[in-house]
Amino acid sequence: MIKIALIQQQATTDKAANLAQGLKSAREAAASGAQIIAFAELAFDRFYPQVPASLDKLDLAEPVPGPTTEAFCGLAAELGVVVVLNVFERNETKGHLPFDSSPVIDTDGSILGITRMVHITEYEYFHEQGYYQPGDQGAPVFDTAFGRIGVAICYDRHYPEYMRALAVQGAEIVFIPQAGSVGEWPEGLYEAEMRVTAFQNGYFTALCNRVGSEENLVFAGESFVCNPAGEVLARAGQGTDEILYCDLDLEQVAQSNGRQLFLRDRRPLLYKDWI
């Protein structure tokens, strides 16, 4: 049994204060027994894509390793926890646009790797195509001290082929850093989506959402965790700053319908050219 913590916190216009609050909350989570600690999409920044991209906004991206990862690498090593972040990443060798990225940090403080959001959307108040280039890391799964972790960053969760790729590589927990606003989708839909993908793929899903009012959007919060049977185990409140804890029995992954039946009976050669 392992304990995870999803830190649902509002981001102010003061990034240094946001980062300090995130570190404080991570310490609180670790003191309460959390072994894996995850944050929402762009947890320490305002949600920049609410407005079309401009040079002053793009200049706010940071490198990995960089200030945010260095702070959490030190904390992870000190406390012996795994940390799943999400940052606005600048990589000078990868083109003119930054990435929406989730570094995964192990208990020794090392960065195991980075997941970069693959599918980039564009619609009102989500002008992401002007901010991010598509991720170039595929759908990696990381062997951490507390299990095999995959990450599906926000919009990527809508793509069954991406979510299945994480299962095929043996993910036991998939973390979803999200920026979901109030009223963005029909009531209960994004929760249903994560319940279904957990059931179909035989892993836990842990969605950590943004919270709070910003320039054009009100982010909902309501972070939640599903088990491999598609059941919701824990749910945070709407509009609240809080830490959501959940105990996960990873033995449920191997015994799930997803692993015992659905992955076993796949016929990838039949439909490999369809998608």
pLDDT of amino acid 185: 82
Average pLDDT over residues 80-95: 91
Q: Which two tokens stand for residue 95?
A: 């083109």
Fold for the domain defined by 2-271: Nitrilase/N-carbamoyl-D-aminoacid amidohydrolase (3.60.110)
pLDDT at residue 272, as a whole number: 78
C-beta of residue 101 within 8 angstroms of C-beta of residue 131? no
Average pLDDT on 241-268 reads 97
d(CA 7, CA 26): 8
**DSSP β-ladder status, 36-39 and 82-84:** parallel
In angstroms, the CA 243 to CA 52 distance is 31
Q: What's the pLDDT tens digit per position in 165-215?
A: 999 999 999 999 999 999 888 888 889 999 999 999 999 999 999 999 999
The 10s digit of each residue's pLDDT in 120-142 is: 999 999 999 999 999 999 999 99
Mean pLDDT score of the chain: 96
Query: CA nearest 175: which of 200, 145, 198?
Result: 198
Where in the chain are the domains?
A: 2-271
